[in-house]
Amino acid sequence: MAVVLKTAEELERMRIAGRLAAEVLDFITAYVKPGVTTGKLNDLCHDYMVNQQGTVPAPLNYAPPGYKPYPKSICTSVNHQVCHGVPGDRVLKPGDILNIDITVIKDGFHGDSSRMYYVGEPSIQARRLVDVTYECMWRGIRVVRPGARLGDIGAAIQAHAEAHGFSVVREFCGHGIGRRFHEEPQVLHYGKAGTGLALQPGMTFTVEPMINAGKPAIRELADGWTIVTKDHSLSAQWEHTVAVSEGGYEVLTHSRGTPPPAS
């Protein structure tokens, strides 16, 4: 499947979808507190997306090859869960860290973003991991420009994570996005600068590094979706959808409550 370059009209639709995804993350922030279940967070987000925004939750019943349909509208990954955590009866406790991953469909286009949340006061290690992961995402985003290579993104992320003693999950990556949830190209979060596909204006893809406090090895739980660290160490992830512009990059998943760029 070839990389789809977006027209000006398509980019405008993606800005709308991206803003709406970010606004779901804004909305749910007030509800992330000790005692709430991940299932309740899912229900709140689902209602907001469907009844307030008029968007479609892209994960609900999504079934890529080899997977059974995903049963919920958002992903909630807690502590050592790396990604694709399925919301349910789990009760959030003080000190937990939580990734909420939102993808909406609006007028045929996808907006995809995730953020980390603290449940009460996190440990020093947890806060450091979350902060460094956020910096990793931005290190990757800031190298995006016409003529840069996909490998430049992964190399920037890997260097920053490993310089802080953390590791990069290899099995999952960023992805092209637009009319389809997952398009080309694949955006690895590790690699060698100067390698890979050259970036062109009109490309749209996610940058979503998954960084572990321990080793990079992962495993899948019995639900067929939730991914966890094999050594039970903490994991964090942040995600933006970006477009390659004539002058560099544009973050498409931006809202009033989006955290400011990392310094």
**DSSP assignment string, 20-49:** HHHHHHHHHGGG-STT-BHHHHHHHHHHII
1 lies in some domain: no
**pLDDT at residue 192 in the model:** 98
Take residue 214 and report the two structure tokens written for it.
């321990």
Decide if 2 is inside a domain: no
Residue 114 lies in a domain: yes
Q: Is residue 208 part of a domain?
A: yes
**pLDDT of 79:** 98
* Residue 260 belongs to a domain: no
At which residue do the structure tokens 């099995």 appear? 171
pTM: 0.97
Model confidence band, residue 124 (pLDDT cutoffs 50, 70, 90): very high
| Residue 30, C-beta contacts closer than 8 angstroms, at least 6 positions apart | none
261 found inside a domain: no
- Measured at the CA of 77, the angle between CA 159 and CA 256, to 5 degrees, comes to 80
Question: Does pLDDT of 163 surpass 90?
Answer: yes
Q: Which pLDDT band, with edges at 50, 70 and 90, does 263 fall under?
A: confident
What would the pLDDT profile of 205-253 be if each residue is shown by its tens digit?
999 999 999 999 999 999 999 999 999 999 999 999 999 999 999 999 9
Who contacts 196 (Cβ-Cβ below 8 Å, separation ≥6)? Answer: 149, 150, 151, 152, 154, 188
Tokens (6 digits) for 8? 């000006």
- C-alpha torsion sign, points 180, 174, 25, 96: positive
Q: How many CB atoms lie within 10 A of CB 96?
A: 19
Domain coverage including residue 118: 8-251
Q: 197: which DSSP letter?
A: P
Token pair, residue 24, equals 């779901």
Q: What does each C-alpha distance from 186 to 74, 100, 203, 243 come to in angstroms? A: 22, 21, 12, 14
The pLDDT of 154-171, averaged and rounded, is 98
Residue 133 sits in a domain whose CATH number is 3.90.230.10
Task: Report the DSSP beta bridge partners of residue 248.
Answer: 245
Q: Is residue 246 part of a domain?
A: yes
What residues pair up with 115 in beta bridges, in sequence order?
A: 100
Q: Structurally, how many domains does the chain consist of?
A: 1
In a domain, 184, yes or no: yes
